[in-house]
Amino acid sequence: MSAEQARSTQSGPSAGAGRGLSAGGADFRHGDWEAVIGLEIHVQLNTRTKMFCGCEVTFGESPNTHVCPVCLGHPGVLPVTNEKALEYATRIALALNCRIAERTIFHRKNYFYPDLPKAYQISQYDLPLGIGGYLDVELEDGSNLRVGITRVHMEEDAGKLIHAGGASGRIDGADHSLVDFNRGGTPLVEIVSEPDISTPDQARAYVTQLRSLIEQLGVSDVNMEEGSLRCDANVSVRKPGEPFGTKTELKNMNSFRFLHRGLETEIERQIDALESGERIVQETVHFDPATGLVSTLRSKEEAHDYRYFPEPDLTPIELDEAYVERVRAGLPELPAARKQRLIDQYGLPPKDAALLAANKPLGDYFESLAAATGHARSSANWVLGDLSAFLNAAGLEVTQCPVTVEGLAELLGLVSDGSLSGKMAKEVFEVMTATGKSAQAIVAEKGLGQISDTGELEAIVARIVEANPGPAEEFRQGRDRVLGFFVGQVMKETRGQANPQVVNDLLRKHLQTPDG
């Protein structure tokens, strides 16, 4: 969409949005300035074929190997809409609580650039697929920020320019450019938010949770580094209560870290400029992660007139209620709903439920584990604790985890039946992740099994009580604390493998009835 359009939506704060620096932005200090941020997220859909032709959608293949006359913009070719892409886009719009347009059309966005073969991008303009939605974003402090979704629309991706002959790979200093059209025509969905975001932290939370939502819909790889999720921001600053300031469009934030740093840098730049009496120019700025600075790309004031007009090669898309309901019925459980269910069904604390709901595979792993063990709380503790710590350290997704649900369930079973202490279970888990061996096998190999055998322990307890008549007498005098001394002695004897509960019971029995 055009920047002008986005601007026109900035007519006032949307209802229900947590505005200002107070909501989740306490760490962000800019005197009495507040930032106004709207995000435009581009998501590449993971359909098998491109938006308007039959070429395969690929990543990282040899240049110009997945192209045809249509996506190369040869004379005479015509686009045909990918129905799967339409369905995926509808899924996203519905998941973002948008109203689906009964009649939606494509427009041509005209501009010349070598990565755009037809010299126009087939996009949507004033009749997008979805409008008027929202996403509820859970902030660090547990509060909720409702971010309005202005629109969700479909379009096609451009090709990729490779600037050669220069040092940086950037166009500056390059002596020629090459074009790879493999990406050209890949289906994109653009999600435009209302300017309801006021801090870089909120922006990061919004993108993180939006990304997780789309991942759970199964319609995109949502990989920022590979460019299947791209983020641009419209940023302005103002004093609370004042009208919106002039905004800039911040581009090239291809990771969460750059998104945060880019916004921070740009907000500070704008505040500094305004405080020193300068004027903000409406323009596109580019965040350079290498220098941490933002630089101007071009002035929006003299920018493109895209000459949008309805794409005459495509007929209007009319989506009836039955279609929309069919797509809605096919939606997986969305994070907000899952979080609530995890709380209700498993009695999890909201924070744990939110973490598990935000990561679909992790949530799935948890639910399978809880079912296998019958112990929801300990399952959640393990998944969010040791398992997540291991995955983070190893840089793995839960789907790549070497410890299966069954394997972890076995380990938790050993804990719950008293065969292993919690501490020992952690050690066994570490070995499991490193070797892939089962918990039973590791316990057997290392002789780690907790001694719960009453007969075996009873002999040890009796011997220790007998060897320490003094403390035994003290216990019988009523000094309960002495029990700790005996427990320590038994543990020492058993190298910590004794079941503490069994040891306790046996000690009391032997101390109260001296000499067996």
The residues of the shown chain that bind other proteins, judged by CB under 8 A, are 69, 72-81, 108, 110, 112, 114, 117-120, 179, 305, 307-309, 312-315
For other proteins, the closer CB: 70 or 353: 70
Give one DSSP letter per residue of 76-138, joined into a string. T------HHHHHHHHHHHHHTTPEEPSEE--EEEE---TT-TTSEEEE--SS-SEEEEEEEEE
To the nearest whole angstrom, how small is the minimum distance from the Cβ of residue 351 to other proteins? 49
Nearer of residues 82 and 378 to other proteins, judged by Cβ: 82
Residue closer to other proteins by CB (options 4, 417) is 4
Kindly state the smallest distance separating residue 395's Cβ from other proteins, in Å. Answer: 40
**Taking the complex as a whole, how short is the minimal distance between the CB of residue 42 and other proteins, in angstroms?**
23
Nearest distance from C-beta of residue 108 to other proteins, angstroms: 5
Secondary structure element (H or E) that encloses residue 515, with its range: none
Q: Locate 6 and state its tokens.
A: 């986005």
Dist CA 263 CA 234 (whole Å):
9
- Which residue do the tokens 């019925």 mark? 329
Q: How far is the CB of 388 from other proteins (least distance, A)?
A: 48
- Which C-beta is closer to other proteins: that of 120 or that of 382? 120
Per DSSP, 45 falls in state: -
Residue 156: CB minimum distance to other proteins, A: 14
Q: Pick the closer one to other proteins by CB: 75 or 395.
A: 75
| 3 state DSSP class of 6 | helix
Report in angstroms how near the CB of residue 164 gets to other proteins at its nearest: 15
15-51 exposure pattern, b = at least 16 Cβ within 10 A, e = fewer: eebbbebebbbeebebeebbbbbbbbbbbbbbbebbb
Closest by CA to 261, choosing from 252, 248, 272, is 252
As measured in angstroms, the least distance from the Cβ of 79 to other proteins is 7
Is-contact 191 43, C-beta < 8 A? yes
Spatial separation of the C-alpha atoms in residues 441 and 515, rounded to whole Å: 39
The three-state secondary structure class of 297 is strand
Nearer CB in complex with other proteins: 308/486: 308
Q: Which is nearer to other proteins, 12 or 69 (CB)?
A: 69
Q: What letters, b where the CB count within 10 A reaches 16 and e where it falls short, cover 319-337?
A: beeeebeebeeebeebbbe
Distance CA 7, CA 125 (A): 14
Helix (H) or strand (E) holding 236: strand 229-238
In the complex with other proteins, the residue whose CB is nearer, 76 or 243, is: 76
Q: How far apart are CA 132 and CA 152, in angstroms?
A: 9
Nearer to other proteins, 18 or 117 (CB): 117
Closer by beta carbon to other proteins, 52 or else 365 = 52
Q: Which two tokens stand for residue 289?
A: 């992660």
- Strand pairing category for 248-251 and 283-288: parallel
- Residue placing its CB nearer to other proteins in the complex, 32 or 175: 175
CB of 321 to other proteins, least distance (A): 23
**CB of 229: closest distance to other proteins in angstroms?**
28
Distances (CA, A) of 331 to 130, 218, 243: 16, 9, 39
In order of 138, 152, 261, the CA distances from 135 in angstroms are 10, 12, 23
Alpha helices in 218-375 (DSSP H): 256-275, 321-329, 335-346, 350-358, 360-373
- Closest CB 285 distance from other proteins, rounded Å: 22
